[in-house]
Amino acid sequence: MSKIAVSLLVATGVCFATMIANADAAVSGSPALDSGATAWVLTASALVLFMTLPGLTLFYGGLVRTDQLPAVLMRRCFVISCVVSLIWLAFGYSLVFSPGNELIGSLEAVLLNGVSQRLMANGLPQGAFALFQMTFAIITPALIIGAITERARFSFVILFSAFWTALVYLPIAHWVWGGGWLARMGTLDFAGGIVVHTTAGVSALVAAWLIGSRDGFPKRIAPPQNPAMTTVGAAMLWVGWFGFNGGSALAANASAASAILATQFAAAAAGLVWIVVERCRLGKPSSVGIASGCIAGLATITPASGYVGPIGAVAIGVVGGVVCCIAAGVVKHRLGIDDSLDVFAVHGLGGMLGSLLLAAFALPALGGSGYGHPMSAAGQLGAQAIGVGAAVVWSAICTYLIVKFLDATVGARVSLEEERNGLELVSPAE
């Protein structure tokens, strides 16, 4: 038999087998595996975890004192990743995405029971979806810790992250992404402007206010110890954000491509605007400034990235760059709150702005793709405002209670001597 004939027989056999598999899937009513979507979501999961380890570690690491780096960042980022991963396995995923009520999911998927054997409606393995969402749950409390760096106890940070994940992140993620009351109202959040950035920013502000300022704040705080490290960390965050926003499409499709384009344009616009504002206020731009500006643009575009066009993304980036830059100074110098690494100004305020601006820039007349449901711009703005407001109130109340409880039990901050000497000298057991 000739090689051509053999090739034709093999090709025919493969096509026949594919037809049988698709027919079986159609008969059983179950979707067929989408290998392209699976590969993209797995890749996006790695990119989002890359944002935390090592992106966030380096970004924050360059902003603190040298003697604070190992204890405040390395131990905390790694341990938070471990703690939140096990919470996600135990009950986190189930309470967010298992069918429940409008406030919280059920315990149907405790310990990810049955998750690895299921396919979602779009052909994506539910296990891949659970992995992707877990990386979001990991990075959110890690963002908060930047606000209380250099003075919070190690034991407090770990317990706070666990309690906060359970009491704040899981319910709000269910409200928005798990079919809860905000989702049914029509609130949109493509990749975490409300669920991740608003919750983290508000909680960071409350925690920083309750725990108090660093020794010497604001006049005797050391400048960033390694701007180059911060810039490298920001670069990693920028690249990883393609998985953060693009992966939220849950497929390798036009929506993912559009989200990544919007992400790039918003970051670029915000970074340039930030250093222009910095030049006007301080006389010269800085490497830390452009890094912070790009992160502000990334946070601001996150909720809208899958709904807006390129021009809308640039406009959102410009607004985010200006507002977040000014807000960073207001929080520290007007409000007197030592949000050490500007988590509220960059992430919290950015997430809120992007969530609200979505209502305008998602309109097809402004180059957007629409809302995906029939609602007027005014109605969508109202839904977005309610979503943001609910996240702000719930995050603030729960964070206040968690910090007060832990401060009364394990203690929130180290002693003045320990703070001055560097937290790496403090016993891990504390």
Q: What is the pLDDT of residues 390-421, one digit of tens each?
A: 999 999 999 999 999 999 999 999 888 777 77
Quick one: 123 and 25 in the same domain?
A: no
- Note whether 174 and 154 are within 8 A (CB): no
Same-domain check for residues 111 and 18: no
Q: Could you tell me if residue 57 is inside a domain?
A: yes
- Residues 49, 14, single domain; the answer is no
Average pLDDT, the chain: 90
What does the pLDDT look like over 265-302, one tens digit per residue? 999 999 999 999 999 988 899 999 999 999 999 999 99
Give yes or no: residues 207 and 274 share one domain.
yes
Q: What domain range is 370 assigned to?
A: 35-425
Tell whether 2 and 151 lie within a shared domain: no
What is the reported pLDDT for 259?
98
* Segment 51-103, tens digit of pLDDT: 999 899 899 888 887 767 766 566 678 899 999 999 999 999 999 999 999 99
- State the virtual CA torsion across 152, 157, 163, 164 in degrees, nearest 10: 80
- Whether residues 11 and 123 fall in one domain: no
Q: How many domains does the chain have?
A: 2
Q: At 301, is the secondary structure helix, strand, or coil?
A: helix
Cα–Cα distance, 153 to 141 (Å, whole number): 15
Least confident of 20-34, 98-112, 116-130: 20-34
Q: How distant, in Å, are the alpha carbons of 90, 117, 198 from that of 112?
A: 7, 10, 27
- 314 shares a domain with 173: yes
Confidence at 223, pLDDT banded by 50, 70, 90: confident
Do 201 and 277 lie in one domain? The reply is yes
Render pLDDT for 350-391 as a digit per residue (tens, 0 to 9). Answer: 999 999 999 999 999 999 999 999 999 999 999 999 999 999
Asked if 26 and 159 sit in the same domain, the reply is no
Give the separation between CA 96 and CA 235, rounded to whole angstroms: 31
Q: What is the pLDDT of residues 5-50, one digit of tens each?
A: 434 333 434 333 433 344 344 434 568 999 999 999 999 999 999 9
Q: Which residue has the higher pLDDT, 221 or 254?
A: 254
Tell whether 18 and 63 lie within a shared domain: no
- Do 149 and 113 share a structural domain? yes
For residue 381, CA distances in Å to 2, 83, 146, 365 come to: 67, 36, 30, 16
Q: Check which CATH number belongs to the domain holding 93 and give it.
A: 1.10.3430.10
* Helices 154-164 and 76-87, packing angle to 10 deg: 30
pTM of the model: 0.90
Are 22 and 48 in a shared domain? no
Sort 316 into a burial class: Cβ within 10 Å, 0-12 / 13-18 / 19+.
buried
Long-range contacts of 310-314 (CB under 8 A, 24+ apart): 310/261, 310/262, 310/265, 310/367, 311/366, 311/367, 312/262, 312/361, 312/362, 312/366, 312/367, 312/368, 313/261, 313/262, 313/263, 313/265, 313/266, 313/269, 313/361, 314/265, 314/266, 314/269
Q: Following DSSP, what letter does each residue of 181-235 receive, concatenated?
A: HHHHHT---SSSIIIIIIHHHHHHHHHHHHH-PPTTTTTTPPPPS-HHHHHHHHH
Contact between 316 and 201 (Cβ < 8 Å): no
In a domain, 257, yes or no: yes
Other CB atoms within 10 Å distance of the CB of residue 205: 25
Nearest to residue 294, comparing CAs of 311, 278, 307, 306? 278
Q: What is the tens place of the pLDDT at every residue in 162-217?
A: 999 999 999 999 999 999 999 999 999 999 999 999 999 999 999 999 999 988 88
